[in-house]
Amino acid sequence: MAQADLNTTSAFSEPAVVVDLHCHSDASDGYFNAAVVADKLADAGVDYASLTDHHTVSGTAAFNRAALRRGVAQITGAELHALHKGTEVHLLAYGFEPHSAALEGILESSAVHDAPQVIDAFHGAGGIVFLAHPLQTDWSGQALEQAVAELAAAGLDGIEAFYKPYPPEVQQRLASMADRLGLLTSAGSDYHGQQQAGSAAPGVAMPVARWKQFRQALGDHARNGAHDEAGTPPPRVTPQPELDRINWQWLFLRIVVPSLLVIGAFIGLLFLILIPTMENRLLDRKREMTTELTNSAWSILWDYHREVEEGRLSLEQAQQAAIERIRRMRYGPDAMDYFWITDMHPHMVMHPYRSDLEGDDLTDFTDPDGVRLFVEFVAAVQNEASGFVRYVWQWQDDPDRLEAKESYVRRFAPWGWIIGTGLYVDDVQQEISTITGRMVDASFVVTVVATVLLLSIAYQSLKVERRRGEAEHELRLSHERYQSLVESSTSGTLLLIDGRCTYANRSLLEMLDYSASELAFLDIHDVVLTEDRGPAAASLELIAGGGEVREPFEARLRRKNGQTVPVLLSSTAVYFSGRKGMILSVQDITRHRAMQSGAARERLISQLQTSLLFLTEPVRNSMRPAVTCTLDASINQAVRLMNRHSFDAVAVTADNGSLVGIVTDHDIRERVVAAGLESSQPVSRIMSAPVVTIHENAPIFEAFLLERERSIDHLAVVDSSDTLVGIIRSSRTLQPDRYSPVVLTQQIHRARSVDELAECHQRLPALVGSLVDSGALPRNICHVTSAAADAVAQRIIALTLEELGPAPARFAFVALGSEARQEQTLSTDQDNALLYELREGPSGSSDAAADYFLKLGELVCERLDSAGYRYCKNEAMARDRRWNQPLERWKEYFSAWIEEPDELALAHCNVFFDLRCIYGDGSLVRALWQHVSRTLETHPAFLSHMALNTVRYKAPIGAFGKIVTGSSGEAPHTFNIKEAMLPIVNFARLYTLKHQLEDTNTFDRLGQLHGIEVLQEESYRAIYQAYEHLMQLRYRHQVEMIRSDRLPDNSIDPRSLTQIETGTLKNTFSQISLIQKKVSHDFHTSA
């Protein structure tokens, strides 16, 4: 059965889980050690396993460690041999305490006990007992069922119905028998590891329903699995990194020793066999040569002897002629080798180089070693007629040089002569040395080549071994990292592998009331519930299938006692031991709702706080232009004027233009309609007089009080010359949106020119000053300034689009930097960009679109500058063609920055990674961020480069705690507060990218990091308050500069701060140092 099938359905088309509750290691009769068995099971996709060695648990510890590392849940197990009525049976025990006194004499013993005794012992140790491979007994049919029933009566808990070697129909029959007898079922492969045909591979598909029955039976007895019974993970010992640790014994025995043996065998073969054999063969060839040469000289003597016999020469003539002929015979490289002749006495007959010996008696002639060589010649030819004799003789014709020589001699019987020639041993040795040297040279080359090849093989094996070690080490570290990640979270965190609960931290275990070992046998559906249908159910199924759900959704956590707890869930994909898993974040929904309520309350306070400021606005900012008519105008004409101008009041003026009365909608209802007055009557009949007026510079709250005091709804607004300029209605002054930033933004959206927008922008410093004076939270002030900036940009873009005509494609105008983070101050410039959709179309259409959007960018940036938002000095604006590009080009930009993060790329990232759509199609920006997220996942090292921006910052604090001023090009006695804030901005951005969060505002980012437990409560509050204090100082400084008619900047003189403010500032800088340490630790960077 394919593994994919095992993971989904059993052989009976039921939902199945892959288990193996019957396998063996070399601790009993298995082939592999326990750790390898665990790896084999994990490779086969097994989720739950038990090592069931015969009568021993000695391999359990190693098996559990390896299985835990690979994400396989383990159950303590063993296979016992027992007897039932004389028949041997095998029993599988699970979930017992191995060191229980109840197992003494049963476990770790080869003795065979009665089955009821074994069952009782393991029950006493907290375990459950199953009959292994039921058909491997002496029973069958009804006899088998009768025997199983008897064992059940003795306490047997179940049978191994899903024994992998059995066909599916047999497994089904056994399962049905178990059901009839009220027994449980288990599943196993009986894997032994031998690689032989027909042996069962690990992993068995067990129906989920039956697995849950088995799991339920284990109950609290599963404490001997991955974790202890207290419900907390066992203490972990993190091994020190040993990336260079190699199995030298394995390498030496498997690679080095065979290599040395091969090289040694080759050298031994060369010097002990090949070279001696070559020497002997060369000497033999030399002897053959001397033999043939002597035979040739001997044949000359025979020729002369025949001439004597034929009578052509006398004996004396023939011998003399033969002597002279042989005397002249030479051979050898230098023609210096010769022949000589003696007789059998011996006397010297002829010697070409020792003529002084000719005729002498040589009986007593010896060489320097005392050898009577000529006597030896005679002796050599007497028995065999020829032979070899070794002696010392002069070197050729040099009497002063003596060398060893070996001569071949042959008797010429007709004349009683001995003829011979010899070879110098030194010549042979030289030739042998020459040939041997060549062989040694060739052999050396062969040896070197063989050594290099063997070393290459050894090196490759070493690399393979090193990679294996590194892989095992990384696997251990991965296991440790994910456990640490889960454990370090203060909210509930759960590690899921294939939808199975693999590991949980203490918070979640306490929430569920499960022990850690119990949780290891549960899946996601056992602990998380949702409505049967709806988005939450779909999200849960997506998580169970291995999909990410980053957006939190509401669900219910089912505790062990069946009660449910409302929670908020989200998930993040991880890879654990080569398998895709999920880290599930479980957050108490009560706390989440409290956070939402707090945020809403803060927004309301911000609205009310800002609203109070607008009660001091002048009336002219809220009045409507007056609609007027003369005294003699008819009521009908007045009504038509009111309808035409969509206003409920008309001012009545005298011929000289002076205000004499007012007619309102209320007057018409009461004095015309109700009284039945003809509409042709003049308005003077129904007007209210005298008219209550208010000066145009009076504050709104004064208008409100006047209306309340006079019980009227309309006030006539006059200028300093009492000339009517407008009318204000009480209901307008009471509109809620008038007392919020909406007032300013509405005026911005109504503006029809850049001049009007500039006027609105000029009101911003006063508004911010009022907020600062009132003690408004810096975050709320940021909201006001950013809302105004967004509104100005949006209005300018809308006006420019009216001028240029419809855009040729979808586009997004985006804010960058501080505006994107919604943290603009009063000393800011514009940072923006434009991205658009590149549509397929006729040739040249893309160029036309590019020209259109570049023109749009140029006009918008120019008008923003005119409205008060000056140009960016670094040209990070949509008017620059680099930052006005199609979406695909933007993706290329971000990919290049992430893949090759040089200094320029990182500088761009500090600006462009804070990006927010303020006009146009936001889906383009979302598509860009999806691309960025995918790229970051494949290039995680980029974040370490970004981390340097935070780590390298040096807080302006001197050695003695004094604030350092005048550095970084600042004016004397000042420090740059904007630079001081950047480490916190960079920190929030960095971790937002790491965890793929979506907020851009630094306050919001810190809140999200706190929500996902990256920042603990204390650290979150400290960093939040530090950033808040810096922002507050920055706003106050800039407001004070504007009030003193100076351009706002970011250079603060510490001498202008109070002692408390200075202390707070120093504490803020210390928080930045803590941030830097965290970043340095998390991203392995240093300044």
Q: For residue range 480-516, list pLDDT tens digits in order.
A: 555 544 444 456 788 887 777 877 887 788 888 887 7
Q: Which residues contact 12 (CB under 8 A, 6 or more apart)?
A: 168, 172, 207
Q: Domains plus CATH for the chain? A: 3-224 (3.20.20.140), 239-471 (3.30.450.20), 489-594 (3.30.450.20), 619-732 (3.10.580.10), 740-920 (3.30.460.10), 940-1087 (1.20.120)
**Rounded CA separation 520/573 (Å):** 19
> Is the model's pLDDT at 636 over the cut of 90?
yes
Query: Higher model confidence: residue 665 or residue 561?
Result: 665
Chain mean pLDDT for the chain: 83
Tell me the two tokens of residue 230.
């207290």
pLDDT value of residue 419:
95
For residue 919, give the amino acid letter.
Answer: Y
CB-neighbour burial class of residue 985 (10 A; exposed 0-12, middle 13-18, buried 19+): buried
pLDDT value of residue 612:
57
Pairing of strands 386-395, 77-84: unpaired
pLDDT value of residue 76:
92
3-state secondary structure of 411: strand
Beta bridge partners of 720: none
pLDDT value of residue 198:
57
**Rounded CA separation 139/134 (Å):** 8
CB-neighbour burial class of residue 396 (10 A; exposed 0-12, middle 13-18, buried 19+): middle
Number of neighbours of residue 246 by Cβ within 10 angstroms: 14
Q: What is the percent of the chain with per-residue pLDDT over 90, rounded to a whole number? A: 37
pLDDT value of residue 1030:
92
Dump pLDDT digits (tens) for 1032-1071.
Answer: 999 999 999 998 888 899 999 888 888 888 888 888 888 8
Q: How confident is the model at residue 236 (pLDDT cuts 50, 70, 90)?
A: very low
Backbone angles phi, psi at 1057, to 5 degrees: -95, 150
Backbone angles phi, psi at 500, to 5 degrees: -105, 140
Number of neighbours of residue 130 by Cβ within 10 angstroms: 30
**Rounded CA separation 1007/1001 (Å):** 10
- The HSE-up count of residue 115 (CA atoms within 13 Å, CB side) is 25
Q: Which of 811, 1001, 839, 809 is nearest to 919 (CA)?
A: 811
**Rounded CA separation 1035/775 (Å):** 11
In the block, tokens 């025997």 appear at 147
Q: Which of 27, 5, 30, 28 is nearest to 17 (CA)?
A: 5
Question: Is the N-terminal amide bond of 566 cis, ω within 30° of 0?
Answer: no
Dump pLDDT digits (tens) for 152-171.
Answer: 999 999 999 999 999 999 99
**Rounded CA separation 998/922 (Å):** 13
> Is the model's pLDDT at 230 over the cut of 60?
no
Sheet architecture: strand order including 528-529 = 500-504, 492-497, 579-588, 564-576, 553-558, 528-529
> Is the model's pLDDT at 575 over the cut of 70?
no
Long-range contacts of 796-804 (CB under 8 A, 24+ apart): 796/754, 796/757, 796/860, 796/863, 796/864, 796/867, 797/856, 797/860, 797/919, 798/919, 799/752, 799/863, 800/856, 800/859, 800/860, 800/863, 801/856, 803/859, 804/852, 804/855, 804/856, 804/859
Q: How confident is the model at residue 13 (pLDDT cuts 50, 70, 90)?
A: low
Are 410 and 418 spatial neighbours (Cβ–Cβ below 8 Å)?
Answer: yes
What torsion do the CA atoms of 907, 913, 915, 921 make, to the nearest 10 degrees? 120
Q: Which of 448-457, 487-496, 902-911 has the highest mean pLDDT?
A: 902-911
Mean pLDDT of 855-859: 96
Are 665 and 656 spatial neighbours (Cβ–Cβ below 8 Å)?
Answer: no
Q: What is the percent of the chain with per-residue pLDDT over 70, rounded to a whole number? A: 85
**Rounded CA separation 493/35 (Å):** 28
Beta bridge partners of 682: 634
Tell me the two tokens of residue 632.
């003699």
Dump pLDDT digits (tens) for 583-631.
Answer: 888 877 765 565 555 555 555 555 555 555 556 667 887 788 999 999 9
Q: How confident is the model at residue 265 (pLDDT cuts 50, 70, 90)?
A: confident
What torsion do the CA atoms of 167, 171, 172, 174 make, to the nearest 10 degrees? 140
Dump pLDDT digits (tens) for 70-128.
Answer: 878 889 999 999 999 989 999 999 999 898 888 888 888 878 899 999 999 999 898 99
Are 13 and 6 spatial neighbours (Cβ–Cβ below 8 Å)?
Answer: no
pLDDT value of residue 249:
62
pLDDT value of residue 668:
93
In the block, tokens 């011979």 appear at 420
In the block, tokens 């505006």 appear at 819
**Rounded CA separation 347/362 (Å):** 5
pLDDT value of residue 233:
39
**Rounded CA separation 795/759 (Å):** 14
Query: Higher model confidence: residue 694 or residue 736?
Result: 694
